[in-house]
Amino acid sequence: MERLRSLRLGLVLDIRSASEARDFPNTAVQEVCADVRQLNVGTDVKARGTFWDVLAQDCSPASVQALVHKIYRAIPVAVAPALSVYFDHVAGHPAPTLIHCTAGKDRTGVAVALLLEILGVTRDSIVADYLATQQTISGDKIESGARKFAEIAGRILPDESLRMLAGVRADFLEQSYAWIERKHLSTEAFLRMNAGLTEERLEAMRGALLEPTAHSEKAML
């Protein structure tokens, strides 16, 4: 809580589904930020529904990989409304923003990757940042996830399937990028069409989030 207060957050984007937010109220961030938006983004490996129906029939590693890949191809469109809210916020008053879902790796991972992409961060650095999430996934989290997955799927998942559901892999994020580039050619074009990104909003983001390099400072002089 002390860390959250120190950030002086101006906006919290809660990109969990409505049912996730209802079952686990976001009381911590509500104490430190007056502007908390719940965007009801339900595309996640922990969302109940068709995903679990398929998993109950076949939880083999190949089936799980195909399912997770399908989810990552759907996530960009699912998180676009949240990014539109973020662009508005940065353009108006660029106070720090917290973006989170439940696991903090899938919906949040893709949303942050798209933001970094349009800021000019290299793809290798974005993937490395995304993969760093694995360092925060403890054995306790995996065990807890295993129990939950077994309960919902009605069977114990193979270890490899569990690792895919509980962790992150470069090929997951690549699915999001591949879908965007196939449908829209670039992340910027996708966000212009689906999240209200404009040149003015992009410049506001760059001004708020980027620091000048020594080279750019010299050029300005």
CA 186, chain centre distance (Å)? 18
Place of tokens 């079952």: 23
Instruction: Give whole-number Cα distances, 68 to 11, 83, 107, 137, 181, in Å.
Output: 29, 22, 12, 18, 19
Rounded Cα gap, residues 186 and 204, in angstroms: 20
Q: Give the sign of the dihedral formed by CA 155, CA 161, CA 163, CA 169.
A: negative
Which amino acids are annotated catalytic?
101
What tokens does 65 get? Answer: 């990989």
Nearest to 166, CA basis, from 108, 126, 106: 106
